[in-house]
Chain A
Amino acid sequence: MAVELTEEEVRHVAFLARVGVTDEDVKKYQKDLSSVLAYFDELNAVNTDNVEPIGHITGMTNVFRSDNVHDVDEDTKRRIMENVPETKDGYIKVKSIF
């Protein structure tokens, strides 16, 4: 079953991934993604009827830690905030959500 992504599908996936696309990008992704997805069809030949999906590959079980808030030193705070593109009154500025 060859998969051929439609233009709408590519735009939908791009929105889900929050990747801006131009009309030209959409055409390119249609071609690129379709050819890679077609390659995956070979997996249909593998019988996985009684095979559980694998979770962890080295056999580790859950690792827990307590969910506590740790303060960091002023120097680290300064270094974190220096990387923020836009700040206001010491806070990270975010665009309006609505």
Chain B
Amino acid sequence: MIKELHDKIVNGEITAVELAQKYLDVIDEKDGPEGLNAFLTVTREEALAKARAVDEKVKKGEKIDLLAGIPYGAKDVICTKGIRTTAASKILDNYKPPYDATVITKLQKVGAVMLGKTNLDEFAMGASTENSAYGYVKNPHDPARVAGGSSGGSAAAVVAGEVVWALGSDTGGSIRQPAAFCGCVGLKPTYGRVSRHGLIAMASSLDQIGPLTQSVEDAAIVLSRIAGQDKMDATSAHSGGKLYERYLTRDIVGKKIGVLPAEVYDNLDPRITESITRAGECLQEHGAVLEEVALPHLKHALSVYYIIMPSEVSSNMARFDGIRYGMTADDGVDNAPGDGIHERYQDTRRIFLGEEVKRRIMLGTYSLSAGYYDQYYNKAQRVRRLIHQDFVDAFKKVDVILLPTAPEVAFKAGAKTSDPLTMYLSDIFTVAINLAGVPALSLPVGTLEYDGTELPIGGQLIGEWFDEEGLLAIGDVLEHALKR
């Protein structure tokens, strides 16, 4: 998709301004709080100015990058200088960052055209965008169903044709699960592959920024332009300017695909299991070899994740204090604060943070508190090592691992909001990947009918640390094999 549009811009078939306008028209038509609700802010003027600059270059015959003039959306948890960045929270309702995230700067340099900021679960905490303070994102296939989360706005915007691609962030599945629910490609790179500078932190040892796109090739193109070491993020890994799209050779003969033992699929809709089996067969038909891998500690990943993630959340969220930026309890909104600083903190956070965010802060504070640290946080970090080791062992045998992205397809809005634990179970197949730090790709592998609507099923491929090229090459073959 990106390459086709790039060729059209270069050949003069369409100008970047016309292209931006075309996508802005779709946003006008489909979005807004009563519509899809994928966008929280639309940056029309900035986008058209950026597109004009690209057209100038084309007119002068200058070489432009593949992403130049291509309209994209950025999840509203990624800082954009002077452009409202809310994290879908009331506490940042009025926040205009004084700087750009590193990914935004990189995309600006290559001439990518940002059309706006996409909706999400508040501070990226959730699996349905129902935790957004600005209403949930509707699934493009059925407005009564959720788009998934937390990058639900990015996934829905891509699938509805409001943007060509979008940036998301993934802490426990937040790129891959909405990609699965909406039916697009989502890539969570290796931890450290993409700079987190300017990503409003949720859980710093798990967060990664990545693309949601219409094809595996598009994901490769975007990754090439956002990856790399950054002195502003000490955990960003050294990776020297790879063009991932050049590794999509369509040759996977002899590649080993890990599949999980049958008991992992107990209690799963058999139609999801079938799609994954079919995906495995497709890869086999193209010369890959299937081999069973165990991942014996996978079943503990959810517990480990829901201890470590809230612990990091409770620490990261301490910055929202009503003093330096964001909303404060003194704005005459609700009851006036007491006289002291503690009351200011407590009132600000009580009034302006949402239920799930507060629940996770509470859970994390408890797990880290005196007397419970060993029982919860320390225990979880030990089991995390065992999960990490499972992947080390598995990748001695196979090149990638194939499994579902989610244990379900897009569910109805409101179906899971009463019980936090039920919502957490949505993350069962995604969280282990973040705990281990490996890259993973979600792509559509079939559909499943509910009440007369065909809903996408997401399949997931997990790659070895820093082997995005190998992962994307296999994903590219699977994508094309399934289309035939």
Contacts of B347 in A (CB 8 A): 20
Q: Which of B333-350 contact A (CB under 8 A)?
A: 337, 339-347, 349-350
Interface status of B109 (Cβ within 8 A of chain A): no
From the candidates B81, B192, B349, B385, name the one contacting A18 in the complex (CB within 8 A).
B349
Q: Name the prevailing secondary structure of the A interface residues.
A: loop
Cβ A35 vs Cβ B421 within 8 A: yes
Contacts of B342 in A (CB 8 A): 18
Interface status of A7 (Cβ within 8 A of chain B): no
From the candidates B98, B231, B300, B435, name the one contacting A42 in the complex (CB within 8 A).
B300
- With A43-B379, A86-B328, A96-B341 known to touch, is A57 a contact of B191 (CB < 8 Å)? yes
Cβ B382 vs Cβ A20 within 8 A: no
Contact with B along A16-54 (1 / 0, CB 8 A): 111111100000010011011101101100101001111
Interface status of B327 (Cβ within 8 A of chain A): yes
Which one of B257-265, B266-274, B361-369 is at the A interface? B361-369
Cβ A85 vs Cβ B376 within 8 A: no
Cβ A36 vs Cβ B421 within 8 A: yes
Contacts of A13 in B (CB 8 A): 362, 365-366, 369
How many contacts between A and B, using CB within 8 angstroms? 162
What is the minimal beta-carbon distance from A81 to any residue of chain B, in angstroms?
Answer: 9
What is the minimal beta-carbon distance from B208 to any residue of chain A, in angstroms?
Answer: 11
Per the bound structure, the CA–CA distance linking A51 and B376 in Å amounts to 15
Cβ B344 vs Cβ A95 within 8 A: yes
What is the minimal beta-carbon distance from A8 to any residue of chain B, in angstroms?
Answer: 13
Per the bound structure, the CA–CA distance linking A46 and B424 in Å amounts to 21
Per the bound structure, the CA–CA distance linking A76 and B347 in Å amounts to 29
Cβ A53 vs Cβ B378 within 8 A: yes
Interface status of A69 (Cβ within 8 A of chain B): no
Cβ B382 vs Cβ A48 within 8 A: yes
From the candidates A5, A10, A52, A58, name the one contacting B465 in the complex (CB within 8 A).
A58
Contacts of B1 in A (CB 8 A): none
Cβ A19 vs Cβ B421 within 8 A: no
Interface status of A82 (Cβ within 8 A of chain B): yes
Interface status of B359 (Cβ within 8 A of chain A): yes
Interface status of A80 (Cβ within 8 A of chain B): yes
Residue of A nearest to B302 (CB): A39
From the candidates B306, B340, B366, name the one contacting A97 in the complex (CB within 8 A).
B340
Cβ B330 vs Cβ A17 within 8 A: no
Interface status of B437 (Cβ within 8 A of chain A): yes
Per the bound structure, the CA–CA distance linking A37 and B97 in Å amounts to 36
Contacts of A39 in B (CB 8 A): 303, 306, 421
From the candidates B95, B96, B343, B349, name the one contacting A19 in the complex (CB within 8 A).
B349
From the candidates B231, B339, B358, name the one contacting A96 in the complex (CB within 8 A).
B339
Residue of B nearest to A64 (CB): B234
Which one of B40-48, B245-253, B275-283, B317-325 is at the A interface? B317-325
Which 5 residue pairs across A and B have the least CB separation, nearest first? Answer: A20-B350, A53-B381, A79-B98, A57-B437, A20-B346
25 pairs, A vs B, C-beta closer than 8 Å:
A5-B366, A14-B346, A18-B346, A20-B350, A29-B362, A33-B359, A36-B420, A36-B424, A39-B303, A43-B304, A52-B382, A53-B384, A54-B388, A56-B205, A57-B205, A58-B192, A63-B234, A79-B97, A83-B324, A85-B323, A92-B324, A95-B337, A95-B341, A95-B343, A97-B340
